[in-house]
Amino acid sequence: MTNPIEKMLALGALLAACAGPLHAETVSARRLLEVADLADPVVSPDGRRVAFRLEQASVERNTYDTIWYVQDMEGGAPPRRVSDGGVPLRDSAGVSLPTPAVWSPDGRWIYYHALMEGKHAVWRAAVDGSGAASVTSDPADVRAFSLSADGRTLRYSVGATREEVLEAELAEYDRGIHIDGTIFTGAGLFRSSQFMGKPATQRAVGWVTAGLLAEVPDRWKAVDVEDGRVRDLAPSQVPSRLPTVSDLAQPGVPEPWVMSIDHATGRIALLTRTGDGAGLLEKPDVQLAMLPKVGASQAVECQAELCTGRAISGIRWRPNSDEVLFTVSDPHEGQAQSFFLWNVRTGAVRPVVQAAGLLSGSRERHRACGASAEALVCVAAEADRPPRLERIDLITGGRQVLFDPNAALALDMAKTTPARLLRWTDAQGREFTGQFFPARRTGHAPPPLFVNYYDCRGFLRGGVGDEWPFASMAEHGISALCINRVPSYHLDAVERYGQGLSAVQSVIDFLASSGDIDRTRVGMGGHSFGSEITFWTAMQADLIVAGSVSSPVMAPNYPLFFGLEREAFFQNLKQNWQLGTPDETPDKWRALSPVFQLHKIRAPILMQTPEQEYIFSLEYAFPLIREHRGDLYVFPDEPHQKFQPRHKLAAYERNLDWFRFWLQGYEAPSPSKRAQYARWREMRHALSKADAAPEGH
C-alpha cells in the first residue's frame, strides 16, 4: 500500500459527500446492543415444558433485564413470564455465567440463583406465573444449591457473610492494603470493580480474580422449602461431589477433556484429546468414548465413521436411553454445529440435525440445550440471525421455533445486511473461514473493508469482545469480515501471530481480486488475542489504514505488574509467548512487543480499554498519543470484557465513527463529536506529514 494517508486526503471530499447517510438507518448499533439473549433452557421432569432465561441490555438504565419464562414444549402459545432473574452474574472477565434453573419433581416450581438487592439467594417461582419469592435469606451469599429428590429440602452453600466481607474490606482500607502476589495491579485496590454482580475488593488467583474472603470454605445448610426452617448440615449430609477428571485417572482410561454422567446408570461419556500435539496447546483430534462406571479400567470407544475425525465439542446423555448426544462444531463450515446420537450398546451413530450456526447458545458453543427423551430445546443463532428458542425432534431432526423475541431485527438484517460464509486459502495452503457482511454500495467503486480476527460463532454483533458493529458498518458502506482463527492454538507466538497475519493478507487479496473491496482502504480491530493480531498486522505489513483494539498487548511492564506471582506468571509467559523478563529474553521482547516496533506502525490506533487493564498499555499508548498516532479511552469499572450497556454503545459508536473517518473520510455532524474529529484530523495531518517525509527523517 502506497501512502494511504495521502490518498485519503485526496479522496476525502468526494467520499464525505457520498458516504453520508442516504437512507434511514435500519440496523443501528443500539439495536444490535439491545438484542434479547436467551440462555439456560431446562426441560421439566415430565418433558412437557421448558424454563429459560432472557437477558437484554437497557442503554437508558445502563443495566440488564433478566426474566425467567416457562413455555410448552409443543409451542403454539407464547411463553409465560414467571419471575425477574435479578442482576446477571458474570465471571472476572465480564462474561455472563450460566445459571440454569432446577425444576421441582412435581413440575410446579423452578428454583434459580439470583442477585437481588445486593444479595445472592435461591429463589422459587411458580410456573403458572402466580408469583416468586426467595427461599434462602442467609447473611452470606449463596454459592451453590441442590434440591432433594422429593423436592422438600433445598441444600445450599455459603462462605463468609456479607458483613464479614465488608468489615475485611474496611479494615484494609483503614490499615493499608498489603501488596503481595494476590493484588490485581490493574484495578483500584478498594471495591474497585464489579465482581459477581456487585462492587467488590478483588484478589488475583492466577489470571482471574475473586472477591475478598473468597477462600473461606463452603458451609452447607438446608432449608425446608415449605416452612422455611434452616439447619446446618453435617459433613456426611453435604451433597455428593460429582466425579471429576482426576477420579478417572488410571491405566487403560484416557484422560478426558469433557465428561458427562448418566445419573440413572453411572455411565460416563468422555471426550479425549488425541493426535500429535507437538507445539500445540492441545492435541488436535477428539475421541468419543464411554466408561461403564467410575473405577472401570476399560473405556468403550466410538468407532463409527460419523464420530471419528470430527471436531466434537460437546456431549450429553439422552435421557432414559443408551444414547450419547454429541455436538460437532465444523471448522470448515465456520464453526456451524451439528448434533449426532451414538448408541453405546450397538455402536451405531446417526445424525440428528445440521445447522448453519450455533445450536447451543447465541454467542458461545458450550452452552447446554434442554433435553427430554424426545426432543432438545436449544438457543439457535447464525451470524446474521439473532438468537431464538427452537425445539429439535431427536427422531426426525425437525426444528420448530418456540420463541423469537428478535424476529423484527432478523427480518431487517435479512433485507439490508445479510452475511455469507467465506472460505479461502493462504499461500501455504491453509484454509480459513469467516463471516462476511458485504457493504451497502452507494456507487461503482469497491467499498472499504473492516477485518476482525478471532472467533465468529453465533450471532455476530461485534465479534469477540463485542465492540465493532458489523451490520451497522455494512449498512454505512464498509464491508465487515469476521475471521475464525486457526483451530489449533500454536504455542510459538510468532507462528500463531503469523497465521493471523496470513489470514488477513490472503483474504484481502481474495476479496480485492473479485472487486468486492478496495484493498487500499482496509481497517482492522480486535479484542484480547484479536488485539494482538491487529497490532502484529500493523507492525509487520502495510495492509491497514487504521486499527482499533480493546485490550492491551505484550509490553515490558507486564513482569513489573505481575512479578510477585513469579512462578505461575512466568510459566505462562514462557509457554505462550516464549518470554522471560526483558533482561532474560530481550530479542523476543523486541520481536513481539509494539513498544519496540512503534516506528513500523503507520496506521493510527484507537484504544478503548477497560479500567482494569489500561495501565498495561501505557508503554506504547503514551508514545502513540504524543506522536498523534493513537487515541485512548478508558472505561471505569470494567474488566477484560466490557459489559455496561452505555459503555458498550459508546465503544460501538466510536468504532463506527473511527472507521468511517479513516476509510470513508466521513464526519458525523453531531456537535458532541467535534473534539473527537479535531483530534483525528490532527492525527491525519501528522501521519500525512510523516508519510511525505524523506526516508531517514
pLDDT attached to residue 200: 86
Q: In the beta sheet, which residues pair with residue 124?
A: 111, 133
In angstroms, the Cα distances linking 231 to 137, 157, 493, 677 are: 13, 12, 54, 63
**Residue range 47-88, pLDDT digits in tens:** 999 999 999 999 999 999 999 999 999 998 999 999 999 999
**Among 567, 578, 536, which residue's Cα sits nearest to residue 553?**
536
The continuous run of DSSP H or E covering 399 comes out as strand 399-403
What number is the average pLDDT over the span 197-209? 78
Q: How many CB atoms lie within 10 A of CB 126?
A: 16
> Does the pLDDT at position 2 exceed 50?
no
Cβ contact 603:649 at 8 Å = no
Closest CA to 17 of 472, 443, 654: 443
CATH placement of domain 4-31+410-553+604-691: 3.40.50.1820
Residue 21 has pLDDT above 60, yes or no: no
Quick: pLDDT tens for 469-516: 999 999 999 999 999 999 889 999 999 999 999 999 999 999 999 999
Mean pLDDT of the chain: 92
Q: Mind listing the pLDDT tens digit for each residue in 87-109?
A: 999 888 888 889 999 999 999 99
Question: CATH 3.40.50.1820: which residues of the chain?
Answer: 4-31+410-553+604-691
pLDDT band at 6 (very low <50, low <70, confident <90, very high): very low
Per-residue model confidence (pLDDT) at position 294:
82
In the numeric block, which cell numbers belong to residue 7? 490518498
Residues 29-44: pLDDT tens digits? 999 999 999 999 999 9
Query: Which among 4, 198, 19, 18 has a CA at the least distance from the CA of 656?
Result: 19
Task: CATH 2.120.10.30 in the chain: give the residue spans.
Answer: 244-405
12 pLDDT above the threshold of 50: no
pTM for the full predicted model: 0.93
Write the DSSP assignment of 469-517 as a string of letters.
-HHHHHHTT-EEEEEEPPSS-BSSHHHHHHHHHHHHHHHHHHHHHTTSS
d(CA 493, CA 488): 13
Select 244-405's CATH number: 2.120.10.30, 1.10.10.10, 2.40.440.10, 3.40.50.300.
2.120.10.30
pLDDT in tens, 450-482: 999 999 999 999 999 999 999 999 999 999 999
Dist. CA 455–CA 463, nearest whole Å: 7
Least confident range from 265-279, 358-372, 382-396, 583-597: namely 358-372
